[in-house]
Amino acid sequence: MGVLVKKQRGVPHLTGIAKLSIVGMIVSLSAAAMNTIWAIYLDSFLNNTVYVGLFSSLLTVIAIVAHFAFIPVIEKADKAKLFSSSLLLFILFYLVFTFNQSFTVLVIVAILMTIFLSLRVASFGILVRDTSSQKGLSRNEGMVYTFMNVAFVIGPLLAGFIAARYNLRWVFALSAFFLFIGFLILKFSGIKGDKGKKKLDRNIYKNFTDFFKSKDRVIAYLLGSGVTIWWILIYLFMPLHMIRNGFTELAIGYFLFAIAVPLIIFEYVFSKTAGKIGFRKIFKIGYLLTAIIALACFFFTNLYIVAALLVLASIGLAMIEPTTEAYFFDILKGKERYRFYSPYGTALDFGNLVGKVSGSILLIFLPFRFIFILFSIWMFLLFLLSFKTKRIVESRRK
């Protein structure tokens, strides 16, 4: 309970990490609901799985550029205020999507949303790091991700119900409502994010080259991207495949609900374990388990069996998702996090790009079932890369 509650003058109070976990959960309810129908929403305009994948890839390239361009903003600005402002912007974007009928408007708003998402992701990640001690970082990351994944259990169910009962577009209105609640909680939480750097790094090219000069940062970057590569299979390609095979939006909501259950059960446990035994073992087991299960999916044509196997694969993701970010912070020195965390955030976008482009190209030439071999290969390559990580054990740090 010390992670969530502490006593001040004999009175129990929520810890900073508890407050951030609650905010993260509310905001993730919005993201989970939106992610459930985003691919289907794009498909309603594009009417082609390949085009959906390629358009999403274009947005990913824009996101990567934005993460490097906004480094000086992340270094200088109050991260709590920056995160609050980004929530207000996303409320506006989602309300536009609720009533939009124009593909041109969709493209413009999607690009703006992608650009400002980089600020939202980077500011929240640094708030979590600055609220944590060196010994407790992995544990705290696990706590935050556990709360967030509770949202990814509830969000798809709500989105599936609303899409089936009312209309797909009203899911965006629901997402905007959750963001507003998250905004209010953060404003009254007393969380501050005024730590940063006085000397700003404005040169985008130098920021890019300096980040990738370090072999350890590159390895952490690739391991972090693997999580998003996998989620592309789960949140983009699987919903589209299920829709084309007669499943309803509500059924997809049930599937994504089940996907998140192992994450809630195991992420905090595996994060604490990583802090005690080191990250390398956790990475190896997580990626290998996921690779084996993805390969097994290729041999089944029954979508119910495939869905059940993918839910089982979430145990492997529970080992990887919260620990890759903690590992990245642990290999940094001093205030490097203010300069390099936003570029690290592009690992998510890089994983998006790899997953979407490789999956879309494969589907041009081969039946859908071959996509499981593709994603199994990606996971196995990251399993091999795990052997190159540094032997960091947080519990041994002073």
Asked if residue 193 has pLDDT above 70, the reply is no
Assign residue 77 a region: left if phi > 0, alpha if psi is -120 to 50, beta otherwise? beta
Tens digits of residue pLDDT in 145-180: 888 888 878 888 888 888 888 888 899 999 999 999
pLDDT value of residue 395: 59
Tens digits of residue pLDDT in 105-138: 999 999 999 889 888 888 888 888 877 777 778 7
Top-confidence residue, 281 or 13: 281
Q: Which domains does the chain have, with CATH numbers?
A: 13-191+212-392 (1.20.1250.20)
pLDDT value of residue 383: 96
Tens digits of residue pLDDT in 64-113: 888 888 888 887 888 888 889 999 999 999 999 999 889 899 999 999 99
Top-confidence residue, 392 or 365: 365
Burial class (CB in 10 A: 0-12, 13-18, 19+), 295: middle
DSSP secondary structure string for all residues of 231-295: HHIIIIIHHHHHHHTT--HHHHHHHHHHHHHHHHHHHHHHHHHHHHH-HHHHHHHHHHHHHHHHH
Mean pLDDT of 195-215: 79
As a whole number of Å, the CA-based R_g of the chain is 20
> Which residues lie closer than 8 Å to 47 by C-beta, 6 or more apart?
none
Asked if residue 221 has pLDDT above 90, the reply is yes
